[in-house]
Amino acid sequence: MALTDLRDKLVADLGRDGVIDDPAHLRTYECDALTGYRVVPALVVLPRDAGEVATAVRACAEHGVPFVARGAGTGLSGGALPTADGVVISLQRLRRIIEVDPVNRRAVVQPGVTNLDISKAAAAYGLYYAPDPSSQQVCTIGGNVAENSGGAHCLKYGFTANHVLAVDVVLPDGTPTRLGGDAPHQAGFDLLGAFVGSEGTLGVVTAVVVRLLHTPATVRTLAADFDSTETAGAAVTAVIAAGIVPAAIEMMDNLAIQAVNEAVDAGFDPDTAAVLIIELDGPADEVEERFAEVTAVCTAATRVTIARDAEQRARFWRGRKAAFAAVGRLSPNYFVQDGVVPRTRLGEALARIAAMADEAGLRVANVFHAGDGNLHPLVLYSEAAGEHERAEALSSAIAELCVELGGSLSGEHGIGTDKACSMPRMFSTDDLETMKRLRAAFDPAGLCNPGKIFPTPRLCGERPGPYRPHPLESAGVIERL
């Protein structure tokens, strides 16, 4: 009843072509890039501007119907998973770059603009948008804001949260507001900071003001081969300990390299156990000095290839950025995991993951942001061979291992639907209840992307997994009262 009313209202306001209700058509919206979770929505709307977004949200609020914003649907945690009987609000028709302001080094864009298109528009002024998720050619800035997305170069430059000055948001009751301001100084609470990374649960973004940086003067990149992931991990620690802040340090193990080499002609050595891509950027002489130090630190490498020109560097990155999807060539199915460990425990984490994989009889490919300890183990399996459950269990166990090692359940892909049930491993009930107070302040009716981030009995069973003391707690460093 509410849904029929709502549909008629939305058709009246957004036009026939802005509302999808055909059952087969709706199914194309039932999942994001994490296809293991699928829920068919009742309606999909495709608003054309911020006004239509507000209209749609207000209509949902008035009808008491839950809704979820959707960007490019490249999320890997089921963040844009619809609610049955709910509405998907796709932002793919809000794709205008409203303004590039070279004097103040910022751009104002609609939420459906892709991450890469911002940099393309800024390029005319020698500027770019720094956070660079591997999915940057397709993921939207709205999705990036929701997930606080990172990328290879976030080691030096920081994440989405550090590059967004303001967002225009439609609050879950349909009220438009602006969070943040013209500069990184807000009068009052940093609501912008709290909003970025809130996984679409606090409102729908209709415009984003991003900072732009000048493209660096010099970029130097090398690919260093290692005979084990442990020695590669040790090299990462050594670089950082030398006081160097590279623009990026990425690692791929042999399985990932194989996949990448098949997908793009990146030219990595197919026989090496692990490769580190290390990039430095900045003023020429600074980069040269530091680059020499990095090369010196990589003594354990079996081979170091220094990119001779922009083309070869681009090839390294094309390879690295295609890695997740390229793994589709090695295995019919796989899970992308995303966890963080303290950098100094990288080697240990990789060794334990390898042992866990052996035990489960599954292959795990590793391709990740080594510089900030952000692991992306890819658990390969075959649905047809009935390996799904084993793979899922292994993947969850890896995420929880990260917490056990003093890290985090997620470095950039978000908790979404996928890890909501694991949250009690990292946070106590009080922690989660406190976070829910923030949610309730934004969305008292609980209609905005419900069922994400926080464990629910429906998703996790009656009792979500038990809280385990954080290792620092066990070590007496922090106390839990």
Partner 1 sequence: MKRELLDVCVHCGFCLPTCPTYVTTGDEAESPRGRIYLMSLAERGETPIGGAFTEHIDSCLGCLACVPACPSGVQYNLLIEAARPRIEQEAPRSLGERSFRRLVFGLFPYPRRLRVAAVFGVLYQRVGIRPTRLLSRLPARVRALESLLPPVRVRDLFARTPRATPPAGSARRRVALLTGCAQRVFFGKVNAATVRVLAAEGCEVVAPRGQGCCGALSLHSGRDDEARRFARRTIDAFGDGYDAIVVNVAGCGSTMKEYGELLSDDPAYRERAAAFAAKVRDVTELLAELPPIAPRHPVEARVAYHDACHLANAQRITAQPRQVLAAIPGVELVDVPEAQICCGSAGVYNLLQPETAEELGKRKAANLTSVKPDVIATANAGCLLQIGRFTSDGTPIVHPVELVDASIRGAAAPKGG
Partner 2 sequence: MKPATLAELRDAVRDTDGPLVVRGAGTAAGWAGTPLPGATEIETTGLDRLLAYNPDDMTVAVEAGMPLTRLQAELAPHGQRIALDAARTPAGATVGGLVATADSGPLRHSHGGPRDLVIGVTVVLADGTVARSGGHVIKNVAGYDLGKLFCGSFGTLGVIAEVVLRVHPLPPATRTVALPCDAVEAVDAAGRLLAARLEPVALEWCDGSLLARYEGGPSSVERRAAVTPGTPLDGAAEAKAWQRVGDVSEEQTVVRCGTRPDQLPYVAKHATRVASSVAVGVHTVAVAGDAEVERLRAEFEHVTLCRRPPGSDLPAWGRPHTAVPLMRAVKQRFDPAGRLGAGRFAPWF
Ligand X SMILES: Cc1cc2nc3c(=O)[nH]c(=O)nc-3n(C[C@H](O)[C@H](O)[C@H](O)COP(=O)(O)OP(=O)(O)OC[C@H]3O[C@@H](n4cnc5c(N)ncnc54)[C@H](O)[C@@H]3O)c2cc1C
Q: Are 133 and 143 in contact (CB under 8 A)?
A: no
Q: Which is nearer to ligand SF4, 325 or 351 (CB)?
A: 325
Is 20 near partner 1 (CB under 8 A)? Answer: yes
86 binds, among ligand X, partner 1, ligand SF4, none (CB under 5 to 8 A by kind): none
Is 295 near partner 2 (CB under 8 A)? Answer: no
Task: List the one residue from 1, 16, 22, 188 that touches partner 1 (CB under 8 A).
Answer: 22
Q: How far is the CB of 290 from ligand X (least distance, A)?
A: 24
Is 116 near ligand SF4 (CB under 6 A)? Answer: no
Is 118 near ligand X (CB under 6 A)? Answer: no
Size of interface with partner 1, in residues (CB under 8 A): 40
Is 72 near partner 1 (CB under 8 A)? Answer: yes
Which span (137-145, 252-260, 337-345, 357-365) binds partner 2, by CB under 8 A? 337-345
- If DSSP codes are grouped into helix, strand and coil, which group holds residue 416? coil
Say how far apart CA 283 and CA 394 lie, in whole Å: 44
- If DSSP codes are grouped into helix, strand and coil, which group holds residue 422? helix
Q: Which is nearer to partner 1, 290 or 413 (CB)?
A: 413
Is 337 near partner 2 (CB under 8 A)? Answer: no
Is 325 near ligand SF4 (CB under 6 A)? Answer: yes
Task: List the one residue from 45, 61, 196, 260 that touches partner 2 (CB under 8 A).
Answer: 196
Is 147 near ligand X (CB under 6 A)? Answer: yes
Is 158 near partner 2 (CB under 8 A)? Answer: yes
The tokens for 4 are 């029929």
Which span (70-78, 295-303, 392-400, 422-430) binds ligand X, by CB under 6 A? 70-78
- Could you tell me the CA-to-CA distances from 176 to 147, 171, 281, 404, 425 in Å, in that order? 21, 6, 40, 41, 36
119 binds, among ligand X, ligand SF4, partner 1, none (CB under 5 to 8 A by kind): none
- Select the residue whose beta carbon is closest to ligand X and give its number: 143
Is 31 near ligand X (CB under 6 A)? Answer: no
Length of the chain: 481
Which span (62-70, 276-284, 301-309, 350-358) binds ligand X, by CB under 6 A? 62-70
H or E segment and range at residue 68 = strand 67-70
Q: How far is the CB of 271 from ligand X (least distance, A)?
A: 25
β-bridge pairing 333-336 and 363-369: unpaired
Size of interface with ligand SF4, in residues (CB under 6 A): 2
Say how far apart CA 117 and CA 95 lie, in whole Å: 10
Say how far apart CA 67 and CA 145 lie, in whole Å: 18
Q: Are 481 and 429 in contact (CB under 8 A)?
A: no
Which span (9-17, 143-151, 311-319, 347-355) binds partner 2, by CB under 8 A? 143-151
- If DSSP codes are grouped into helix, strand and coil, which group holds residue 85? coil
Q: How far is the CB of 217 from ligand SF4 (least distance, A)?
A: 34
Q: Are 374 and 412 in contact (CB under 8 A)?
A: yes
Looking only at residues 398 through 427 of this chain, which bind ligand X when binding is defined by CB under 6 A?
412-413
CA 425 to chain centre: 20
Query: What is the number of other CB atoms lying within 10 angstroms of the CB of residue 262?
Result: 15
Task: List the one residue from 55, 83, 149, 272 that touches ligand X (CB under 6 A).
Answer: 149
Partners of 107 in the β-ladder: 100, 210
From residue 90 to residue 129, the character string flagging contacts with partner 2 as x (rule: CB under 8 A) and all else as - is -----------x-xxxx-------------------x---
337 binds, among partner 1, partner 2, ligand SF4, none (CB under 5 to 8 A by kind): none
Size of interface with partner 2, in residues (CB under 8 A): 94
Say how far apart CA 208 and CA 69 lie, in whole Å: 15
Is 68 near ligand X (CB under 6 A)? Answer: yes
In the DSSP assignment, the letter for residue 218 is E
Q: Which is nearer to partner 1, 329 or 480 (CB)?
A: 329
- Angle, in degrees to the nearest 10, between helices 284-297 and 229-241: 140
Report the candidate in 426, 411, 412, 424 with the shortest Cα–Cα distance to residue 459.
Answer: 424
Say how far apart CA 206 and CA 110 lie, in whole Å: 6
Please name the residue that has the structure tokens 């910022």.
106
Looking only at residues 412 through 441 of this chain, which bind partner 1 when binding is defined by CB under 8 A?
none
- Could you tell me the CA-to-CA distances from 148 to 24, 198, 206, 286, 380 in Å, in that order? 32, 8, 16, 30, 27
Edge-to-edge strands, sheet with 176-180: 97-101, 106-109, 204-211, 164-170, 176-180
Say how far apart CA 383 and CA 391 lie, in whole Å: 9
The site for ligand X (CB under 6 A) is made up of: 32-33, 68-76, 79-80, 91, 111, 133-135, 139-140, 142-144, 146-147, 149-151, 199-200, 204-205, 324-325, 412-413, 449
Binding site for ligand SF4 (CB under 6 A): 325, 328
Chain positions contacting partner 1, by CB under 8 A: 20, 22-25, 27-29, 31-33, 35, 46, 72-74, 90, 92-93, 95, 112, 114, 135, 137-139, 262-264, 322-329, 332-334
